[in-house]
Structure 1
Amino acid sequence: MSKCLAASILILAAFFSSFTATHAGETGLFRLTDRAAPVGIGAREPSLATLPDGRIILSWTEEKGAEAKVRMAILDGSEWSDARTIHKSSKIYINWADFPSVMALSNGTLAVQWLELNGTSDYQYDVNIAFSLDEGKSWSVPLIPHDDRSQRQHGFVSLVPHQFGGLTALWLDGRKYESQTEGDSFENAMQLRSRQINSDGTMKPESLLDARACTCCQTSAARTGSGDMVAVYRHRTADEIRDISIVRSTGGVA
């Protein structure tokens, strides 16, 4: 079973258990307990993360009419906090494959990423990142990590915390990709880019990690025990061979 599939099953199992009555059951290996999460009608795109003290963060989206919300709650042992609205807008991009997520920095600060439409097309949107110092009760003004402001696709984000605060954001960037162009070329491609962001919102220069990546596949990243960062994504050759690739940063250089 792939890592992505296993993670998806874990997330879906935790999320859909919120719609059942709380109960416990015994199996041969585990004791399973359902916990009703404080999600609203139309909740979708669940994502799980952990705080440094082991508590669990659940984030999701909810739609009502023309407006959508990015929301979160924290599971502390057997009790969920009240649902907290991170952001609401009529321009939040909702997509089953490309969804918001919340993660915790090493100092307990929370970071969230979501996608905001910047044009009239379904595939014209920007990455938005914000920070919270009070476990999601209030959030900073969102920032956009990519320098490109064209009405193109920017998404499939991974956030990786730094050891001493801050994070690195990775995303697929469509500044060089024109999906309406007939035919294809080496230059007409989605890119994989990254940027280091401090918890105060200041940013280091943007980095190009791969000039050709698949247009609609999730990225994933983690930090090794030595502090290096490893990014995994789907590469796309000029001959249309698409396979999983790895980029590793050593001393801040990919």
Structure 2
Amino acid sequence: MRLRTTVLLLSCALLAACGGETPRLQAVDAATLDAPVRIEPWLLPAAEGTSAPDLAVAADGRVMLSWIDSQPGRRHLFRFSNWWPGDARWDVAPKTIALGNRMFVNWADTPHILATPDGAVWAHWLQKSGAEPYAYDVALARSRDGGASWTPPVVVHDDNTRTEHGFVSMWPQGDSLLGIAWLDGRATAGAGDAQARDAHAGHQGGHAASAPGDGAMSLRAALFDGAMQPVLESTLDTRVCDCCQTDVAVTSKGPLLVYRGRSPDEIRDVLVTRLEGNVWTAPRRVHADDWHMPACPVNGPAIAADGEHVVVAWYTAPGDVPQVRLARSSDSGDSFGDPLVLDEGDAVQGRVAVALDTQQVHVAWLREETGVQTLLLARYTPDLSRELERTMVATLQGNGRGTGFPKLAVSNGIAHLVWTEVVDGRPQLRGARLGAGG
């Protein structure tokens, strides 16, 4: 497929003078699947100085956007708003989840928001636990009134070590429980200067791995009830990549968690494990990339699921050739087919996002050439047998790690895409909606 270039001019003129009706899109169905999608700017309620976006779709179809608001001389704010697709509108005003000087804000390790079927809204963020550069905890809070008020935050782990805890994934477990997984650095405590290294220095170059004999980063998970108490705590993997994002999707057989592993020989391939009852399955590779990487690439995988159908997108670089790959499972993650290579070459940044519905798969990722970043999106049939379209959604003003990680979610057949722009040295969230022309 040839690349279609779409220039998103997020201006008042294009958005009907900032006061007109947001263009109405329709879900892409079988009749319109092969036609180029219509891409409309999505005016967000996040102002200048905002970054670290997250998207989640609630059971009623609303799209939840959260972000960090950082203004000079003020405390960080963790905020969110609901997009109501039926009315094509945001909440009247964004709601604040948390604020404080101890909030840890990072370009790669970002907060998340989620709604469980019982109507509760859950959110997590990172909180400094000590003076060390990467000593922080995972804080979790819950709201029963749509975000107007929140429970006092609880720390999801009980080790009390001043080490790194983060790169979280959350999922609904049944109607009212919340599942949460995170990278846990408790075993790295006292491992020399392991926590003082620049753990989030960039993309492919990453940061140096712990020296032989240092404690390794582990992957842990827990379920929390409405009283903010853990009802199941598990260790999933005792040696994982130190600073790569995790992701999770709920399949017909249970939640499937995807993350980047780390073998004793520094093979950094992507692994999956699934919660079946009260037991997590043994981790297994999505594909044998055999990527030898002696440092953390700060570039984790993304996953989406619809029943038994699962797709995983990830960055890898076997043979020092950067690639974005996409693989599919038709058995809830028990096995995966051979991956497709979506993009490759030195310009590939990865930082992938993926979404899936009954009609198609959406994948977004970043490239950077001669200091200019572009955000690309590809659409595939659900079985990945055919690429439907490839589009350059936006050319970004920012470059390097300042643009963070894009987020992608599908509600009612319409894809919602959010990314971080950098304007005059300050972050600013941008958005787009993709569907058939209305």
Larger Rg: 2
| TM-score, L = length of structure 2 | 0.51
Would you say 1:199 and 2:226 are equivalent positions? Answer: yes
| Residue identity matched to 2:76 | A
Give the equivalent residue in structure 2 for 1:159: 170
Would you say 1:69 and 2:77 are equivalent positions? Answer: yes
Whether the aligned pair in 2 keeps the contact of 1:25 and 1:33 (CA below 8 Å) is no
For residue 119 of structure 1, report the CA deviation from its aligned partner: 0.9
1:85-234 superposed matches below 5 A: 85-177=96-188, 178=191, 180-181=193-194, 184-185=211-212, 188-226=215-253, 228-234=254-260
Residue range with higher mean Cα deviation, 153-162 or 20-29: 20-29
Provide closer, same or farther for how the CA distance between residues 88 and 179 of structure 1 changes in structure 2, counting only shifts above 3 A.
farther
CA–CA distance in structure 2, aligned partners of residues 57 and 122 of structure 1: 31
Q: Secondary structure at the match of 1:176?
A: helix
Provide closer, same or farther for how the CA distance between residues 106 and 241 of structure 1 changes in structure 2, counting only shifts above 3 A.
same
Identity of aligned pairs, percent? 34
Whether the aligned pair in 1 keeps the contact of 2:239 and 2:262 (CA below 8 Å) is yes
Residue range with higher mean Cα deviation, 35-44 or 166-175: 35-44
CA–CA distance in structure 1, aligned partners of residues 9 and 255 of structure 2: 34
Provide closer, same or farther for how the CA distance between residues 30 and 52 of structure 1 changes in structure 2, counting only shifts above 3 A.
same
Q: Secondary structure at the match of 1:116?
A: strand
RCO comparison, higher one (Cα < 8 Å, 6+):
2
Show CA shifts across 1:33-56 (max 9, x none).
333222122011111111111111
Would you say 1:246 and 2:256 are equivalent positions? Answer: no
Provide closer, same or farther for how the CA distance between residues 25 and 142 of structure 1 changes in structure 2, counting only shifts above 3 A.
closer
CA–CA distance in structure 2, aligned partners of residues 25 and 166 of structure 1: 35
CA–CA distance in structure 1, aligned partners of residues 230 and 24 of structure 2: 48
For residue 18 of structure 1, report the CA deviation from its aligned partner: 10
Whether the aligned pair in 2 keeps the contact of 1:20 and 1:36 (CA below 8 Å) is no
For residue 239 of structure 1, report the CA deviation from its aligned partner: 1.3
Whether the aligned pair in 2 keeps the contact of 1:127 and 1:144 (CA below 8 Å) is yes
| Residue identity matched to 2:70 | E
CA–CA distance in structure 1, aligned partners of residues 262 and 39 of structure 2: 41
Query: Could you list the runs of 5+ residues in structure 1 that have no partner in the other structure?
Result: 1-12
2:49 to 38, 42, 47: 42
CA–CA distance in structure 2, aligned partners of residues 153 and 220 of structure 1: 18
CA–CA distance in structure 2, aligned partners of residues 93 and 159 of structure 1: 19
| TM-score, L = length of structure 1 | 0.86
Whether the aligned pair in 2 keeps the contact of 1:190 and 1:214 (CA below 8 Å) is yes
Show CA shifts across 1:175-228 (max 9, x none).
0123615962366100000011112212124211000000000011122113x2
Residue range with higher mean Cα deviation, 65-74 or 123-132: 65-74
1:22-37 superposed matches below 5 A: 22-23=15-16, 24=23, 28-37=35-44
Q: Secondary structure at the match of 1:213?
A: coil
Query: Could you list the runs of 5+ residues in structure 2 that have no partner in the other structure?
Result: 1-5, 17-22, 26-31, 195-208, 281-438
Would you say 1:57 and 2:57 are equivalent positions? Answer: no
Provide closer, same or farther for how the CA distance between residues 109 and 91 of structure 1 changes in structure 2, counting only shifts above 3 A.
same
For residue 167 of structure 1, report the CA deviation from its aligned partner: 1.2
Number of matched residues?
Answer: 238
Provide closer, same or farther for how the CA distance between residues 60 and 237 of structure 1 changes in structure 2, counting only shifts above 3 A.
same
For residue 88 of structure 1, report the CA deviation from its aligned partner: 0.4
